[in-house]
Amino acid sequence: MSDNTPPFSSPRRTSSRRNFLKKTLMMVPLAAAGSSTLVLKPQNANAAEGVSPHYVPLFFNNEEWLFLLQACERLIPTDSNGPGAVDQGALEYIDKQMELPYGHAGLWYMHPPFVDAKPEMGYQSKLTPRDTYRLGIKAVNQHCQQRFQKNFADLSAEQQNALLIELESDRLTFPDISGKAFFDQLLANTKEGYLSDPIHGGNQSLASWKLIGFPGARADYTDWVDKPNQVYPLGPVSIFSKRNL
């Protein structure tokens, strides 16, 4: 997380999530034809137009998908600012990334020795992103079973938030994976999916770009170069010309 990004547990981030905590994220898991894999079916009244309700995960199993549904909604919730990570398809983005070279750490140097080092020294873990999710979700659910006799997805919003704060602050860690390393991976990918071009699976209605005033892949806006600190008047456009006016 960058120095200027408020932590998950900060008052700014907590207050922005509070509106969501008054609601219930209603999810109806449907079995895909011929498969036991769950599909995403958000029943949120604020769900973004254009987000597919029938996406079938490629990498994550049922238990992992339910974890992501709840955890990602806690990190970037649907609130008065607009659709959140789940509504915008960030989960689809994360799932697709696990099947690409990124998920397999195919573009990184992944040979020993594996040592603790400063962030500027680059990625040091022996775990690929796929391994991080698989081990991290399993460890968190096992912890929740021991502590609450429930999986993470079945906990109250307050309990889920408290556990995410423990992970972020590294107060909750596991033999096979650092709690903070898992949280950092989850948060980074959730933000990527929320802010990405829709071509990658997330940000399906360009709501995040509209929220921050990013014009996207517009061909030409040189007439706006000499107007600093003024809001750009046109909505964003994606690589494939999807628009949010």
Question: In total, how many domains does the chain have?
Answer: 1
Reduce the DSSP state of residue 30 to 3 states and report it. strand
| Nearest CA among 5, 1, 19 for reference residue 74 | 19
Entry pTM: 0.78
Has residue 3 been placed in a domain? Answer: no
Give the model's pLDDT for residue 26: 31
Reduce the DSSP state of residue 200 to 3 states and report it. helix
Has residue 245 been placed in a domain? Answer: no
What is the residue range of 70's domain? 11-214
Q: Report whether pLDDT(48) > 70.
A: no
Give the pLDDT confidence of 108-147 residue by residue, as tens digits: 888 888 888 787 877 778 899 999 999 999 999 999 999 9
Q: Report whether pLDDT(37) > 60.
A: no
Specify the DSSP class assigned to residue 205: T
Amino acid letter at 33? A
Give the pLDDT confidence of 223-239 residue by residue, as tens digits: 888 888 888 888 888 88
Summary mean pLDDT of the chain: 80
Give the pLDDT confidence of 164-216 residue by residue, as tens digits: 999 999 999 899 999 999 999 999 999 999 999 999 999 989 999 988 888 88
Has residue 233 been placed in a domain? Answer: no
Give the model's pLDDT for residue 228: 85
The CA distance from 144 to 225, in Å, is 52
Sign for the CA dihedral angle at 210, 216, 222, 225 comes to: positive
Has residue 26 been placed in a domain? Answer: yes
Q: How far is CA 128 from the centre of its chain?
A: 17
The CA distance from 149 to 155, in Å, is 10
Has residue 227 been placed in a domain? Answer: no
Give the model's pLDDT for residue 105: 92
The CA distance from 78 to 20, in Å, is 6
Has residue 222 been placed in a domain? Answer: no
Has residue 75 been placed in a domain? Answer: yes
Has residue 46 been placed in a domain? Answer: yes
